[in-house]
A and B are shown apart, each in its own frame.
Chain A
């Protein structure tokens, strides 16, 4: 299926990273016939209509100008502008084939013309790497959202040529570096102090509930008195007729309280302002609040164990329990603990809590989600690690998992109350909450000792520069600044902080520099290789073990280090950083999922769905698993939350664990993952096109050209009620669309058994004129373009899973780009071939692919 046709046809022998220039993109000469038939009558040597001449157009696209001219040809045909309407129109099949060949040639041309010839351009730390580097160096976790995200330009965030620098950014580095050091100093000031907050939740809960009861009782008392007075007046015989008329009005029938709004009509009725209300609705509100809540508050206080803990509700009453670390707690890592139980009659889907920072009423920045398996008879203690930094609001809270907005919690409560004439019952009981720490910061502590300032600064700089010693002139400048600050009255530490923060904005810290002579490849030094390896597998600087290796270049040493590094928790940064970008998971955040259609797809579940992709990859990585298990597998890696969503039984708790799947399960492999399928939707409906294109791009390594501009939209079908399949099939009517969609669409339809959020379905509801709303059976059968047929999703999955080498190649190309920090180019073709062949002998083990890349020459030379 792979069609890097211009390159694949060549036998590649080049091994040096400075190999000959990439071959140029070609358009097959057979397409000259199409030009001749459709373009040359006007665009020839004599008639150069519109100043465009195509009779001498080059079929080798070896310059930007030539590619631009072809692009113009493509654009005018795509937009329907050429051939002009009054001219003979090309045969549809010929046009389709011509457009397909030309758009692929142009993609190839852009790629070869943009080829860096294997050059790795000086890399700046990207935002993730900067954050991890500060963490390893200073032991503090920074909020780096002020820095540009470095993603979204079509390449990985490790590709040096796409990582820019601006004056604003340099100023941000200076500011962030200073803030990080301030955190370290704050920790130092609090050194030796240990903090522990312990809140027995019932204390605040019961006091607050009682006082809230008092308040609404007091507020509603005059309302009751006023209503009684109006009632008394209404009971008088002279009002009888009017009152019976009033009570019969629609308004009052709907809500009896509205009767009092007509007090002015009732003879002898007192005004509400005599009772302290500005009007009748205000009195109504005071009474309404009492009616809505007071009974529940009373009832709350009679719940069992209410004097030993508090209960979690969705809304009203206790909708969360929190803890507020005071200002004197220094920034750092803390442990948050709470003792909790699910009530005996709480349904399984309500046994989850979210720990987070309340941001706006009803909405949280969710930090983690926990499955509660403890019972009132045997509560459990949940423990989570949280970061306290100097800038965030000091508040953490837990609540039952829910859609993340006030609007939704109100709706949940109101709908339940209306239906059941009762409160939405509490789901969980919390005994207490603790907040303890900080954990000792070893990295930060190592920064200071009794050495003189110059030495301290020099040591710090060498560490910050990943083992490279700074020049004396740089140090001179820093020491001079230190001295100047001291002279103006700063303390030793204050002055140090200023000088050290400058180090964190210096090029030696921000860039991974590898000096080189033009045209001559040289082996990296040990330190350079250690750095490349560390930023590849950790997105973080090398540790002492790595920097201390005597000969890192030997295959044995490299493989040992790869294994050691992958075993470290720091390799999580590789899993999330690489996989997220490789598979394009950012698309999951492009759309708001329709909460009415998919209430279960809340923020916690979405995070779990995304995590499944990472956890599955990590599981394979850590257990020498094959990459191909991402195509099809007899197990899924899930936690309690996701297992419930998938209907997989007997999985409880927060730990991610592999579980065996029954033979007929659609799960197992990327295609069966909620996150992957949800990305192929717009939050409301599935998008077979997105899904099909994703499979071609990521799995089959046959990427369709980007969506072309200026293609006329099909308007013939607007207004017509069509099934998604019918609508998308319309794509295939016009040659402009058909050239790509004949490949994309069948795959997308084969995945239609997954709904918008990746749940299995066999029918879809849609509306068709004359037939009304109807459940339409999903038809997932189809055939690959010029390829085999499949009857359903399971056959499609098998056909895709058989394309092991395509997938391995797609993965390898992405990995090379990520690891070397340059766009995958011609110079990397043979490297990718070698790696795939080597990995093939080891059943495409992910770890083997990484090892093969790391020991390759390309990885070890500049």
Chain B
């Protein structure tokens, strides 16, 4: 224990120890159980939903609502989910971008002289607060099937504080290894490697200074992305150093098979989300889900973009099958969250705030973004159907969730305030 504490102190930063039970330090765990941490998860599904059959009847709101056909598979959790209607990102203007601005609410054209602009995503706002004590401040899960899934530009659902795209883990195998695979080299060697990595960063920064010399302001701003990348690596190395002597958690799930796609891919990613939270490897996750391969795995022959432009017949059937399968998968995830116990006897479900949806409602519509909320962490009114005034900023919902998690952001994206009706 002395060495560990000593080491942590020696890094010069004071960090809180992670929940000890979860990282296999039972022997050191304090007998008093502290409250489980709060988590935030966003699941995005690109090409919207089937308008006619996914949304609950707008006349039946509050606690007396009825599940729609597309949400039926969630019946066993009806009291624990809330469906919000009426929200939109007012600047959204790209009919095929279901994820690019979903969590940011940015105006693509806000910066004169730039044809693309974005701002920080809600998960990253959360990560800055919830991510301090975990090995990974946040984890971005992605799919190899981005092009066919209506997500739009970006490397994952997450955008950093400067509105730059953040990389995601392409597939379940990559996610598994990032979360759970330990470097087997001895500690002293890994320390030496960290030191070497720092020298590498120092070296390239020397060259950056030379390159910067004489550049125009615009170019210096561009080169700043490089500096910022190096700074981000340094922060990560700092974190690595803090966690160097702490082995990664034992994976509560088996290593996924390579090549999973569609439904199987989503299922395994959901398992990994639970595993990541359960082991407290991270408290913030986003997942940009596949839609194209999901359709393929359901045996439909309809091309994903065609499916999104459904009309009655094969395409609409495919669209509805997609809705039902996505709901079924979400229901499975909620089952697991409820079944996973925390140290104090509560469940993971009680300590998570999860949003599930897309910037695209259906076809080419960007208003009334489909939104399902669940989890007990953000003090949300669950088991409700809320129909908000048309074009309520979706960012108001994100802001409400952030506040509920104890993150007192003044605003987010184009938010105008919190959604009072959503607060329990």
Tell me how many residue pairs across A and B have CB atoms closer than 8 Å: 191
Asked if residues A110 and B200 are in contact (CB atoms below 8 Å), the reply is no
A592 to B295, CA, bound (A): 12
- Identify A508's interface contact among B96, B155, B210, CB under 8 A: B210
Asked if residues B215 and A122 are in contact (CB atoms below 8 Å), the reply is yes
Which residues from chain B contact A478 at a C-beta distance below 8 Å?
Answer: 203
CB distance from A521 to the nearest CB of B (A): 11
Asked if residues A170 and B364 are in contact (CB atoms below 8 Å), the reply is no
A154 to B115, CA, bound (A): 9
Among B162-170, B266-274, B325-333, B401-409, the one that faces the other chain is: B162-170
Among B7-15, B223-231, B247-255, B347-355, the one that faces the other chain is: B223-231
- Identify B364's interface contact among A63, A168, A502, A707, CB under 8 A: A707
A113 to B114, CA, bound (A): 8
Asked if residues A471 and B206 are in contact (CB atoms below 8 Å), the reply is yes
Asked if residues A170 and B226 are in contact (CB atoms below 8 Å), the reply is yes
CB distance from B256 to the nearest CB of A (A): 17
Which residues from chain A contact B365 at a C-beta distance below 8 Å?
Answer: 709-710
Contacts A164-B164, A515-B215, A592-B303: A481 and B153 contacting too (C-beta < 8 A)?
no
Contacts A474-B203, A481-B203, A710-B366: A166 and B166 contacting too (C-beta < 8 A)?
yes
Asked if residues B305 and A590 are in contact (CB atoms below 8 Å), the reply is yes
The 0/1 profile, CB within 8 Å of A marked 1, for residues 103-140 of chain B is: 00001011011111000000000000000000000000
Asked if residues B218 and A119 are in contact (CB atoms below 8 Å), the reply is yes
- Identify B233's interface contact among A170, A513, A517, A718, CB under 8 A: A170
The 0/1 profile, CB within 8 Å of B marked 1, for residues 482-516 of chain A is: 00100010000000001000100111101101111
Asked if residues A148 and B311 are in contact (CB atoms below 8 Å), the reply is no
Asked if residues A516 and B214 are in contact (CB atoms below 8 Å), the reply is yes
Query: Nearest chain-B residue to A119 (Cβ)?
Result: B218
The 0/1 profile, CB within 8 Å of B marked 1, for residues 578-605 of chain A is: 0000000000011110100000000000
CB distance from B286 to the nearest CB of A (A): 15
Which residues from chain B contact A594 at a C-beta distance below 8 Å?
Answer: 301
- Identify A511's interface contact among B211, B230, B366, CB under 8 A: B211
Asked if residues B207 and A148 are in contact (CB atoms below 8 Å), the reply is no
- Identify B114's interface contact among A114, A510, A706, CB under 8 A: A114
Which residues from chain A contact B202 at a C-beta distance below 8 Å?
Answer: 477
The 0/1 profile, CB within 8 Å of A marked 1, for residues 261-296 of chain B is: 000000000000000000000000000000000000
A312 to B200, CA, bound (A): 53
Query: Nearest chain-A residue to B296 (Cβ)?
Result: A592
Asked if residues A481 and B107 are in contact (CB atoms below 8 Å), the reply is no
Asked if residues A161 and B114 are in contact (CB atoms below 8 Å), the reply is yes
B199 within 8 A of A: yes
Query: Nearest chain-A residue to B110 (Cβ)?
Result: A64
- Identify B208's interface contact among A507, A707, A711, CB under 8 A: A507
A71 to B206, CA, bound (A): 46
Asked if residues B225 and A513 are in contact (CB atoms below 8 Å), the reply is no
Among B24-32, B57-65, B72-80, B87-95, the one that faces the other chain is: B87-95
CB distance from B281 to the nearest CB of A (A): 18
Which residues from chain A contact B204 at a C-beta distance below 8 Å?
Answer: 170, 502, 505-507
Query: Nearest chain-A residue to B88 (Cβ)?
Result: A710
B182 within 8 A of A: no
Contacts A71-B93, A121-B218, A507-B223: A708 and B364 contacting too (C-beta < 8 A)?
yes
Asked if residues B207 and A170 are in contact (CB atoms below 8 Å), the reply is no
A823 to B167, CA, bound (A): 25
Contacts A161-B114, A502-B204: A518 and B155 contacting too (C-beta < 8 A)?
no
Query: Nearest chain-A residue to B95 (Cβ)?
Result: A709
A160 to B309, CA, bound (A): 34
A169 to B216, CA, bound (A): 24
- Identify A114's interface contact among B92, B109, B229, CB under 8 A: B109
CB distance from A500 to the nearest CB of B (A): 12
Which residues from chain B contact A480 at a C-beta distance below 8 Å?
Answer: 199
The 0/1 profile, CB within 8 Å of B marked 1, for residues 142-154 of chain A is: 0000001000111
B367 within 8 A of A: yes
The 0/1 profile, CB within 8 Å of B marked 1, for residues 70-109 of chain A is: 0100010001000000000000000000000000000000
Contacts A114-B115, A502-B204, A511-B211: A682 and B364 contacting too (C-beta < 8 A)?
no
B410 within 8 A of A: no
Which residues from chain A contact B164 at a C-beta distance below 8 Å?
Answer: 164, 166
B6 within 8 A of A: no
| CB-CB contacts below 8 Å: A207-249 with B | none
Asked if residues A710 and B367 are in contact (CB atoms below 8 Å), the reply is yes
| CB-CB contacts below 8 Å: A126-165 with B | 148, 152-155, 160-162, 164-165
Asked if residues B203 and A155 are in contact (CB atoms below 8 Å), the reply is no
CB distance from B231 to the nearest CB of A (A): 8
Query: Nearest chain-A residue to B97 (Cβ)?
Result: A709
CB distance from A820 to the nearest CB of B (A): 14
- Identify A161's interface contact among B155, B222, B303, CB under 8 A: B222
A488 to B199, CA, bound (A): 15
CB distance from B147 to the nearest CB of A (A): 7
Asked if residues B303 and A710 are in contact (CB atoms below 8 Å), the reply is no
Which residues from chain B contact A684 at a C-beta distance below 8 Å?
Answer: 303
Query: Nearest chain-A residue to B222 (Cβ)?
Result: A122
B363 within 8 A of A: yes
Contacts A119-B218, A148-B155: A67 and B116 contacting too (C-beta < 8 A)?
no
Asked if residues B366 and A709 are in contact (CB atoms below 8 Å), the reply is yes
A397 within 8 A of B: no
Which residues from chain A contact B166 at a C-beta distance below 8 Å?
Answer: 166, 168
CB distance from B300 to the nearest CB of A (A): 12
Query: Nearest chain-B residue to A67 (Cβ)?
Result: B109
- Identify A513's interface contact among B93, B215, B312, CB under 8 A: B215
Asked if residues B216 and A470 are in contact (CB atoms below 8 Å), the reply is no
Which residues from chain B contact A517 at a C-beta distance below 8 Å?
Answer: 216
Asked if residues B200 and A481 are in contact (CB atoms below 8 Å), the reply is yes
Query: Nearest chain-B residue to A509 (Cβ)?
Result: B207
Which residues from chain A contact B113 at a C-beta distance below 8 Å?
Answer: 113-117
CB distance from A705 to the nearest CB of B (A): 11
Residue among A122, A161, A474, A502 with most chain B CB within 10 A:
A122
A742 to B248, CA, bound (A): 61
A629 to B361, CA, bound (A): 44
The 0/1 profile, CB within 8 Å of B marked 1, for residues 165-176 of chain A is: 111111100100
B191 within 8 A of A: no
Asked if residues A113 and B94 are in contact (CB atoms below 8 Å), the reply is no
Which residues from chain B contact A164 at a C-beta distance below 8 Å?
Answer: 164-165, 225
B183 within 8 A of A: no
Which residues from chain B contact A9 at a C-beta distance below 8 Å?
Answer: none
Query: Nearest chain-B residue to A360 (Cβ)?
Result: B259
Asked if residues A68 and B303 are in contact (CB atoms below 8 Å), the reply is no
Query: Nearest chain-A residue to B217 (Cβ)?
Result: A518
Which residues from chain A contact B94 at a C-beta distance below 8 Å?
Answer: 706, 709
Which residues from chain B contact A155 at a C-beta distance below 8 Å?
Answer: 115
A473 within 8 A of B: yes
Write 26 A-B pairs (CB below 8 A) sorted by A numbering.
Answer: A68-B107, A121-B222, A122-B222, A153-B116, A155-B115, A161-B115, A166-B232, A167-B229, A168-B166, A470-B207, A473-B209, A474-B210, A478-B203, A488-B192, A513-B219, A514-B219, A515-B215, A517-B216, A589-B147, A590-B148, A590-B303, A590-B305, A707-B96, A709-B95, A710-B364, A718-B312
Interface residues of B, Cβ cutoff 8 Å to A: 91-96, 107, 109-110, 112-116, 147-148, 153, 155, 160, 164-167, 192, 196, 199-200, 202-204, 206-211, 213-219, 222-223, 225-226, 228-230, 232-233, 236, 259, 301, 303, 305-306, 309, 311-313, 363-367
Give 15 A-B pairs besides A64-B109, A79-B367 with Cβ atoms closer than 8 angstroms.
Answer: A63-B112, A75-B93, A114-B109, A114-B113, A152-B147, A153-B116, A161-B115, A169-B167, A474-B206, A506-B208, A511-B226, A515-B216, A591-B303, A709-B94, A711-B364
Interface residues of A, Cβ cutoff 8 Å to B: 63-64, 67-68, 71, 75, 79, 110, 113-117, 119, 121-122, 148, 152-155, 160-162, 164-171, 174, 360, 470-471, 473-474, 476-478, 480-481, 484, 488, 498, 502, 505-508, 510-511, 513-518, 589-592, 594, 682-684, 706-711, 713, 715, 718-719, 823
The 4 lowest CB-CB distance pairs between A and B, nearest first, are A515-B214, A167-B232, A477-B203, A122-B219
